[in-house]
């Protein structure tokens, strides 16, 4: 299935298919050279000297010794291909072995091998190839050796780079623990993971190698007369370029078409083999999440979100002043739909990461967003600042208002003004969100400088002040520390200091305590709570843990499969959860001292977001499901000051 889908993806790339066609035609014709009705490529007939293309018995004419051009081109291509492909195979084998051994054993072996590779790379590769042939003597075999040697460093460097990132992973340790020898780990565990890198390097270098072989032959250092290869034919034809241009042009054209074909094929193979390219991870995201064209038009005409979808700070049915009252509600999200578009061949399907999410965060309040992984919590938060990467993300519908101003479709300059300034973001993992090469003080100071335009000295002073505020001991000394010199808890405090740098109105904290141990977690939660109360900041706190949310938040929104399934105050939801999903989530939370309480996991998995059921999205995991639940989409309805998306709750309320 996976192989089938790779084939399909390859053939949908038209240029790659053209490349494959060219390469196949060239390979088949050159392989069939001995059985084709061709004249001897080396047979000299001086009466046929420089015959033009279209002459009788010589469809592509003859060269200056009267040899048939068609026959020499086919045999010459065969020689060029054989040398180019053999050189690629040798360079790939030797270079990959050097790379994988150097990365695996490290130490002196790595140093010795890589310094040797660096020395080879220090020379321009064509010059090095010429030097090697000059030492070994002219000839096809020596040209093959030279081309192989100069290309070994590309494979060695690429493979070493890929292997270094793998050797410290746990699955390699697990293989060692299972008693596998070094060779078994190298060739059984690491090599299969590095193979795509080797294939990708082959696909991008084989074209060069054919070109390099032709170059050496062109200079008279490769194929020797009477043997023809494309480079030597080009070199010989050069002499008669003015009287019989076809003699030089035809081999030149074959080289051009062949190398273009190989490169197109290589690009197609790389796209199929490289999981990063496949996922779009290597595609640079746009500066802000793309907004659907239809939504843009509706936003301009003022009818993006239907009236009546407003949610008040105190629950449904209230009034927040028409959604424009930034005075009491700095952040208002309504009917947000952020989808990821994935292509499979010519069709594309939508992964509905958020599908109609609404909530509001009053000034100074803390809202918790709770749900399992993949429920759409982080996508909701990232959408606020237009940070969902496009491709593949796109905001399809909804409204996000900050202090009354619509952020969806806002000019990038406005978003940049708000990002890290009025709306701050604390990431889950401070190790990856802080730049490892810049001191923590400088990272806090640059946010201050960028948004407040103060001097370097003033920004540094402010950085130190913020580090004091987030209770980093000895801030004056730590301001010049790099992230790796701090513990996990200290790094997260730096992340909070960066968030506080410009006295924001809203802080979005995306699972900021997940990577921390429980005592540090408690300190960070207390710090966030104190700062919220003292600074009057509104807080959006994302977590899968109700215990953590209940420590910090006033209200909670529970998300499942991209939708809000319940919302209310933390106290109400703690005492009496309405939705079966919330009930089951709460049943998974351990309570200290309650040994008799059985923790029951929620069976099954959330539905695929690109293949959602018609009815209730929780139906397959719900312990009180009825047939009616599966018939039609279930709406989010108000129940007093709360909301729930469950027909059972509706019936009970009725």
- Euclidean distance between CA atoms 564 and 336, whole angstroms: 11
- Euclidean distance between CA atoms 125 and 113, whole angstroms: 18
Q: Which residue is it, tokens 């068609």? A: 70
Question: Which CB, 503 or 631, lies closer to ligand SF4?
Answer: 631
Question: Which CB, 190 or 634, lies closer to ligand SF4?
Answer: 634
Question: Which CB, 259 or 636, lies closer to ligand SF4?
Answer: 636
Of 128-136, 354-362, 506-514, 640-648: span binding ligand SF4 (CB under 6 A)? 640-648
- Total number of residues binding ligand SF4 (CB under 6 A)? 13
Question: Which CB, 101 or 618, lies closer to ligand SF4?
Answer: 618
Question: Which CB, 122 or 654, lies closer to ligand SF4?
Answer: 654
Binding status of residue 654 toward ligand SF4 by CB under 6 A:
no
Question: Which CB, 430 or 606, lies closer to ligand SF4?
Answer: 606
- Euclidean distance between CA atoms 541 and 377, whole angstroms: 10
Binding status of residue 454 toward ligand SF4 by CB under 6 A:
no
- Out of 160, 634, 642, 643, the residue judged to bind ligand SF4 by CB under 6 A: 634
Residue 619 beta carbon to ligand SF4: minimum distance, rounded to whole angstroms: 4
- Euclidean distance between CA atoms 383 and 385, whole angstroms: 5
Comparing CA positions, the residue from 218, 252, 255 lying closest to residue 235 is: 218
- Euclidean distance between CA atoms 277 and 365, whole angstroms: 42
- Euclidean distance between CA atoms 525 and 515, whole angstroms: 13
Structure tokens at 590: 């351990």
Could you tell me where the DSSP H helices lie in 242-370? 246-273, 275-279, 293-301
Residue 600 beta carbon to ligand SF4: minimum distance, rounded to whole angstroms: 16
Binding status of residue 559 toward ligand SF4 by CB under 6 A:
no
Residue 266 beta carbon to ligand SF4: minimum distance, rounded to whole angstroms: 51
Of 83-91, 115-123, 468-476, 615-623: span binding ligand SF4 (CB under 6 A)? 615-623
Angstrom distances, CA of residue 635 to CA of 309, 341, 357, 646: 12, 25, 12, 7
Question: Which CB, 427 or 560, lies closer to ligand SF4?
Answer: 560
Binding status of residue 562 toward ligand SF4 by CB under 6 A:
no
Of 146-154, 239-247, 312-320, 619-627: span binding ligand SF4 (CB under 6 A)? 619-627
Comparing CA positions, the residue from 547, 589, 541 lying closest to residue 428 is: 541
Residue 347 beta carbon to ligand SF4: minimum distance, rounded to whole angstroms: 30
- Site for ligand SF4, residues 284 to 313, rule: CB under 6 A: none
Binding status of residue 616 toward ligand SF4 by CB under 6 A:
yes
- Site for ligand SF4, residues 564 to 583, rule: CB under 6 A: 579-580
Residue 24 beta carbon to ligand SF4: minimum distance, rounded to whole angstroms: 55
Number of H helices, E strands in the chain: 25, 13
Question: Which CB, 219 or 619, lies closer to ligand SF4?
Answer: 619
Please check whether residue 478 is in contact with residue 467, taking contact to mean a CB–CB distance below 8 angstroms: yes
- Site for ligand SF4, residues 458 to 497, rule: CB under 6 A: none
Residue 627 beta carbon to ligand SF4: minimum distance, rounded to whole angstroms: 10
Question: Which CB, 246 or 645, lies closer to ligand SF4?
Answer: 645
- Out of 74, 172, 494, 648, the residue judged to bind ligand SF4 by CB under 6 A: 648
- Euclidean distance between CA atoms 519 and 527, whole angstroms: 12
Antiparallel, parallel or unpaired: β 366-370 and 538-543: parallel
* Burial letters 417-436, b for 16+ CB under 10 A, else e: ebbbbbbbbbbbbbeebbee
Binding status of residue 647 toward ligand SF4 by CB under 6 A:
yes
Question: Which CB, 359 or 618, lies closer to ligand SF4?
Answer: 618
What radius of gyration do the chain's Cα atoms show? 33
Question: Which CB, 404 or 638, lies closer to ligand SF4?
Answer: 638
Measured from the Cβ of residue 131, the count of other Cβ atoms closer than 10 Å reads: 13
Comparing CA positions, the residue from 472, 477, 446 lying closest to residue 459 is: 446
Comparing CA positions, the residue from 528, 510, 482 lying closest to residue 371 is: 510
Helix (H, G, I), strand (E, B) or coil at 41: coil
Binding status of residue 636 toward ligand SF4 by CB under 6 A:
no
Residue 598 beta carbon to ligand SF4: minimum distance, rounded to whole angstroms: 21
Question: Which CB, 379 or 602, lies closer to ligand SF4?
Answer: 602
Task: Report the sign of the C-alpha dihedral through residues 531, 535, 536, 541, in that order.
Answer: negative
- Site for ligand SF4, residues 415 to 444, rule: CB under 6 A: none
- Euclidean distance between CA atoms 367 and 308, whole angstroms: 22
Binding status of residue 618 toward ligand SF4 by CB under 6 A:
yes
- Euclidean distance between CA atoms 221 and 144, whole angstroms: 11
Q: Which residue is it, tokens 């002499």? A: 239
Q: Which residues bind ligand SF4 (CB under 6 A)?
A: 579-580, 616, 618-619, 622, 624-625, 629, 634, 646-648
């Amino acid at each position: 299935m996976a192989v089938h889908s790779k084939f399909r993806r390859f053939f949908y790339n038209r240029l790659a298919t053209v490349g494959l066609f060219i390469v196949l035609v060239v390979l088949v014709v050159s392989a069939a050279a001995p059985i084709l009705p061709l004249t001897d490529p080396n047979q000299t007939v001086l009466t046929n000297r420089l015959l033009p293309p279209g002459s009788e018995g010589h469809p592509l004419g003859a060269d200056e010794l009267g040899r048939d051009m068609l026959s020499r081109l086919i045999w010459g291509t065969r020689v060029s291909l054989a040398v180019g492909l053999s050189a690629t195979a040798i360079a790939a084998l030797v270079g990959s072995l050097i790379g994988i051994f150097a990365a695996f054993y490290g130490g002196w072996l790595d140093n010795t091998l890589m310094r040797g590779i660096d020395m080879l790379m220090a020379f321009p590769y064509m010059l090095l190839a010429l030097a090697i042939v000059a030492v070994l003597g002219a000839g096809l075999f020596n040209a093959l050796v030279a081309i192989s040697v100069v290309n070994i460093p590309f494979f060695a460097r690429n493979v070493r780079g890929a292997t270094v990132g793998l050797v410290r992973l746990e699955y390699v340790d697990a293989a060692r623990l299972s008693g596998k020898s070094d060779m078994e780990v190298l060739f059984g565990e690491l090599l299969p993971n590095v193979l795509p890198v080797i294939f990708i390097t082959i696909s991008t270098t084989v074209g060069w190698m054919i070109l390099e072989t032709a170059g050496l032959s062109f200079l008279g250092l490769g194929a020797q007369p009477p043997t023809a290869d494309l480079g030597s034919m080009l070199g010989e034809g050069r002499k008669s370029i003015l009287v019989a241009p076809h003699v030089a042009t035809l081999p030149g054209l074959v080289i051009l078409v062949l190398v273009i074909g190989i490169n197109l094929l290589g690009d197609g193979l790389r796209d199929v083999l490289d999981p990063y390219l496949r996922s779009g991870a290597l595609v640079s995201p746009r500066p802000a999440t793309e907004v659907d064209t239809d939504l843009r038009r509706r936003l301009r005409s003022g009818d993006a979100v239907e009236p009546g979808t407003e949610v008040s700070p105190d629950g449904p049915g209230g009034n927040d002043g028409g959604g424009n009252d930034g005075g009491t509600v700095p952040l208002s999200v309504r009917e947000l739909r952020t989808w990821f578009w994935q292509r499979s061949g010519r069709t594309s399907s939508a992964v509905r990461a958020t599908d109609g999410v609404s909530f509001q965060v009053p000034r100074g309040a803390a809202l918790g967003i709770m749900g399992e992984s993949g429920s759409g919590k982080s996508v909701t938060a990232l959408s606020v600042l237009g940070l969902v990467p496009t491709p593949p993300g796109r905001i399809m519908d909804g409204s996000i208002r900050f202090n009354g101003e619509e952020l969806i479709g806002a000019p990038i300059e406005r978003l940049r003004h708000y990002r890290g300034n009025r709306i701050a973001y604390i990431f889950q993992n401070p190790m990856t969100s802080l730049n490892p090469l810049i001191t923590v003080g400088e990272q806090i100071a640059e946010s201050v400088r960028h948004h407040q335009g103060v001097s370097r000295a003033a920004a540094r002073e402010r950085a130190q002040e913020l580090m004091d505020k987030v209770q980093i001991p000895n801030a004056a000394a730590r301001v010049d520390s790099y992230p790796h010199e701090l513990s996990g808890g200290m790094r997260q405090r730096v992340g909070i200091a960066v968030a506080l740098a410009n006295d924001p109105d809203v802080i979005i904290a995306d699972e900021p305590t997940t990577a921390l141990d429980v005592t540090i977690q408690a300190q960070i939660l207390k710090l966030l709570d104190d700062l919220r109360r003292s600074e009057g900041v509104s807080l959006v706190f994302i977590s899968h843990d109700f215990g953590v949310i209940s420590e910090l938040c006033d209200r909670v929104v529970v998300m499942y499969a991209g939708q809000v399934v319940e919302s209310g105050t933390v106290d109400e939801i703690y005492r009496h959860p309405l939705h079966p999903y919330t009930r089951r989530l709460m049943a998974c939370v351990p309570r200290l001292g309650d040994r008799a309480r059985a923790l029951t996991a929620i069976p099954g998995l959330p539905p695929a977001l690109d293949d959602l059921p018609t009815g209730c999205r929780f139906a397959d995991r719900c312990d009180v499901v009825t047939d009616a639940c599966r018939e039609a989409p279930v709406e989010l309805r108000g129940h007093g000051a709360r909301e729930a998306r469950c027909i059972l709750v509706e019936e009970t309320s009725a």
